[in-house]
């Protein structure tokens, strides 16, 4: 078809109009092309960045901290998500009315809030962490620019103060501060994950831009603690502290066969769920961190040392006058008997007898036995702040010190350390490594401290302590044979031994025929008139031991005593209501 032939379409225009229109169009296109080139080519990075900033999001996937449970899976520490309120100073626009309202919602004084919000930091700061779900809803409803909620994990301790000293606690940033929480921080802490996503206009996630780095949940821990025994220990200790008006105290329960710490309670206590009243005193795990002079509880080691060297045997008779002079020091017995066997020296806790036995050893020999038993060295439980106690080198001992060491002055130990050392008597001479974590029995290798014969002989001596004529009558447990040693030590106050301040202790084991449990009790400054270890710490031992043996369902090794004791002596009465 020939368009030119059509009349209607025949162009009848002036050529300048064509040129003008053409150049106008060309100019328009040039502008558009230039703009396109500018946007697409020259300025692309900037614009792409802007676009990504709107659509792409970097997300942190918070990792949950691992749980801590006791040996039966009872929960001791768990993290759950909570909301917390954060502010960004650069965007914060808050009217004074809103401020007052916010103060009411958060339940803080307006002045305090004012001070908090006035902070000029780069980035963000937390206003309150955590806030309750109701508070969170109210704050969201207010819609203040610059204030936002953030999800965080908060640690809770369902067992509360009962296991507080062992479990410890974390700070607001989820870092372990004390106890197991601190010792196993690396294991418990998770690793935060990272995600880069693209979002649509409505905020839905459309796709992942890079492969997700998933959050690594922290590892869980199964402690060696038995929450039931732990609670009993806590309750009985609290009751004893109250009756004897003592300053403090500790109880340690060890499994003699495995070295596991089944319970560890201290007084005073603190509540790990309440971070407001921070006080360093009650938070201290005294049984592990504090040291004391062991007093008479050291005597079984003296006996073991002389038996091992063959210097005495359990029935050797030793002259024990009421007083005995070593250098300038006059050693005195509270209940003197002119003649005692080695066994009776332990039973009646004779200082003179113990000194005479210790003096038959050279300082080096004596030191070696104490050192081998673990004194002066960390007990190796892995607990943060664990103390090694103090045992001076034998070369520096004066004769007086050599003598006082025999009844437990001049060296210091922690309760955990002392209880661990008693494992040698319970376990036929072998000490198992301590553990705060549950362990399988086959993986343990013990350390030999005494020969099986010596360990059994000393154990038999310690059994007489709880029998007629011994110092630990109130430590008896119906149905079981109990072996142990009482201790009553004067406290060192400003470099002098205070005549009226004592540390009462008892370390014992049961069933004595084949000990499974070792319980150490120490009560600091009982001031209710009674202070002998057998009368103050002894009953706590008996209560906790009886309950723990029942808990573990161990068969009684002296079933006949159960009935005899009910008839003759007053039974240890179970306290109603328990202590708090």
List residues near other proteins by CB under 8 A.
64, 74-76, 78-81, 156, 158-160, 162, 204-207, 227-228, 230-231, 235, 478-479, 555-556, 559, 562-563, 565-566, 571, 574, 576-578, 580
Q: Which two tokens stand for residue 576?
A: 């109603």
Cβ–Cβ < 8 Å for 534, 251: no
* Cβ pair 472, 506 in contact under 8 A: yes
The C-alpha atoms of residue 236 and residue 37 are separated, in whole angstroms, by 84
- Among 174, 175, 176, smallest CA distance to 166 is for 176
Antiparallel, parallel or unpaired: β 248-255 and 517-524: antiparallel
Question: Which residue in 296, 419, 504, 548 is the catalytic one?
Answer: 296
User: Which of 559, 516, 544, 367 is CA-nearest to residue 428?
Assistant: 516
Closest approach of other proteins to the CB of residue 534, in Å? 21
Closest CA to 291 of 397, 376, 190: 376
CB of 120 to other proteins, least distance (A): 35
Min separation Cβ 167 and other proteins, Å: 12
Q: Are 464 and 314 in contact (CB under 8 A)?
A: no
Of residues 444 and 565, the one with the C-beta less far from other proteins: 565
Q: Distance between CA atoms of 165 and 360, rounded to whole angstroms? A: 42
Least distance (Å) between residue 199 CB and other proteins: 11
* In the block, residue with structure tokens 């040693």: 485
Closer CB to other proteins, residue 230 or residue 486? 230
Where does 427-530 have alpha helices with state H?
Answer: 452-465
The residues, ordered by sequence, that sit 6+ positions from 468 with a Cβ below 8 Å of its Cβ are none
CB half-sphere exposure, 325, CA atoms < 13 A = 2
Q: What is the distance between the alpha carbons of residues 420 and 423, in angstroms, rounded to a whole number? A: 5
Q: Which is nearer to other proteins, 68 or 331 (CB)?
A: 68
Cα 440 to chain centroid distance, Å, stands at 21
Nearest distance from residue 24's CB to other proteins, in Å? 39
Q: What does the alpha-carbon distance between residue 72 and residue 340 come to, in Å, rounded to a whole number? A: 47
Q: Whole-number minimum distance, CB 481 to other proteins, in Å?
A: 15
Q: Which is nearer to other proteins, 75 or 289 (CB)?
A: 75
Pairing label, strands 323-326, 68-69: unpaired
- Whose Cβ is closer to other proteins: residue 383's or residue 480's? 480
Nearer to other proteins, 141 or 571 (CB): 571
Q: How far is the CB of 388 from other proteins (least distance, A)?
A: 33
Closest to other proteins by CB, 125 vs 231, is 231
CB distance 510 to 217 below 8 Å: no
**To which residue do tokens 């002989």 refer?**
457
The number of helices, as runs of H, and strands, as runs of E, in the chain is: 20, 19
* Closest CB to other proteins among residues 281, 577: 577
Strands (E), 64-217: 68-69, 75-87, 125-131, 147-156, 193-199, 205-208
Is 23 catalytic? The answer is no
The residue (of 402 and 438) whose beta carbon lies closer to other proteins is 438
Q: Toward other proteins, which CB reaches closer, 227 or 461? A: 227
Q: If residue 168 lies in a helix (H) or strand (E), which one and from where to where?
A: none
Which strands, in side-by-side order, build the sheet including 248-255? 261-267, 248-255, 517-524, 496-510, 483-493
Identify the three-state secondary structure at position 44: helix
Q: At its nearest, how many Å lie between other proteins and the CB of residue 332?
A: 39
For the bound state, the minimum distance from the C-beta of residue 517 to other proteins, rounded and expressed in Å, comes to 17
Least distance in angstroms from the C-beta of 142 to other proteins = 25
Residue 289: Cβ within 10 Å count: 16
Q: Is 366 left (phi over 0), alpha (psi -120 to 50) or beta?
A: alpha
As given in the structure block, the two tokens for residue 316 are 């050797």
CA 409 to chain centre: 29
Catalytic machinery residues: 296
């Amino acid at each position: 078809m020939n368009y030119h032939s059509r009349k209607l379409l025949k162009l009848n225009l002036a050529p300048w109009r064509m040129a003008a229109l053409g150049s106008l169009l060309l100019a328009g296109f040039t502008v558009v092309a230039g703009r396109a080139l500018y946007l697409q080519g020259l300025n692309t990075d900037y614009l792409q960045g802007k676009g990504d900033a709107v659509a792409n999001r970097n997300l942190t996937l918070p990792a949950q901290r691992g749980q801590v449970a006791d040996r039966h899976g009872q929960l001791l520490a768990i993290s759950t998500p909570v909301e917390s309120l954060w502010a960004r100073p650069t965007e914060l626009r808050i009217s004074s009315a809103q401020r007052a309202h916010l103060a009411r919602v958060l339940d803080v004084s307006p002045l305090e809030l004012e001070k908090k919000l006035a902070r000029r930091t780069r980035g963000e700061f937390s206003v309150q962490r955590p806030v309750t779900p109701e508070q969170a809803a109210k704050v969201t409803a207010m819609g203040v620019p610059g204030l936002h909620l953030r999800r965080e994990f908060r640690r809770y301790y369902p067992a509360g103060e009962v296991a507080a000293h062992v479990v410890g606690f974390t700070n607001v940033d989820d870092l372990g501060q004390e106890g197991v929480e601190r010792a196993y921080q690396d294991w418990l802490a998770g690793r935060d994950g990272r995600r880069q996503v693209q979002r649509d206009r409505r905020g839905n996630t459309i796709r992942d831009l890079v492969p997700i780095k998933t959050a690594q949940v922290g590892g869980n821990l199964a402690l060696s603690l038995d929450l039931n025994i732990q609670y009993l220990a806590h309750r009985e200790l609290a009751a004893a502290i109250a009756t004897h008006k003592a300053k403090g105290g500790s109880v340690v329960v060890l499994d003699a066969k495995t070295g596991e710490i089944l319970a560890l309670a201290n007084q005073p206590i603190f509540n790990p769920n309440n971070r407001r009243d921070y006080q360093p005193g009650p938070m201290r795990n005294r049984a592990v961190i504090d040291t004391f002079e062991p007093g008479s509880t050291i005597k079984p080691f003296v006996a073991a040392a002389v038996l091992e060297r063959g210097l005495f045997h359990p029935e050797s008779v030793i002259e024990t006058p009421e007083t005995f002079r070593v250098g300038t020091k006059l050693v005195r017995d509270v209940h003197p008997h002119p003649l005692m066997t080695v066994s009776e020296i332990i039973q009646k806790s004779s200082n003179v007898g113990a000194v005479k036995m210790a003096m038959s050893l050279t300082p080096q020999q004596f030191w070696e036995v104490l050192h081998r038993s673990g004194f002066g060295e960390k007990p190796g439980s892995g607990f943060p702040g664990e103390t090694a106690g103090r045992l001076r080198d034998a070369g520096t001992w004066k004769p007086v010190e050599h003598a006082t060491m025999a009844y437990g002055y001049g060296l210091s130990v922690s309760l955990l350390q002392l209880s661990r050392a008693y494992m040698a008597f319970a376990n036929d001479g072998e000490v198992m490594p301590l553990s705060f974590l549950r362990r399988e029995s086959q993986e343990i290798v013990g350390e030999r401290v005494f020969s099986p014969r010596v360990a059994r002989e000393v154990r038999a001596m310690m059994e007489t302590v709880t029998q007629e004529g011994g110092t630990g009558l109130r430590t008896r447990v119906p149905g079981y044979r109990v072996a142990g040693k009482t201790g009553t030590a004067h406290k060192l106050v400003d470099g002098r031994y205070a005549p009226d301040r004592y540390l009462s202790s008892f370390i014992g084991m049961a069933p004595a025929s084949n000990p499974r449990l070792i319980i150490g009790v120490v009560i600091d400054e009982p001031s209710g008139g009674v202070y002998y270890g057998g009368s103050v710490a002894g009953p706590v031992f008996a209560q906790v031991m009886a309950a723990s043996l029942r808990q573990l369902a161990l068969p009684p090794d002296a079933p006949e005593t159960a009935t005899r004791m009910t008839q003759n002596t007053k039974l240890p009465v179970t306290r109603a209501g328990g202590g708090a």
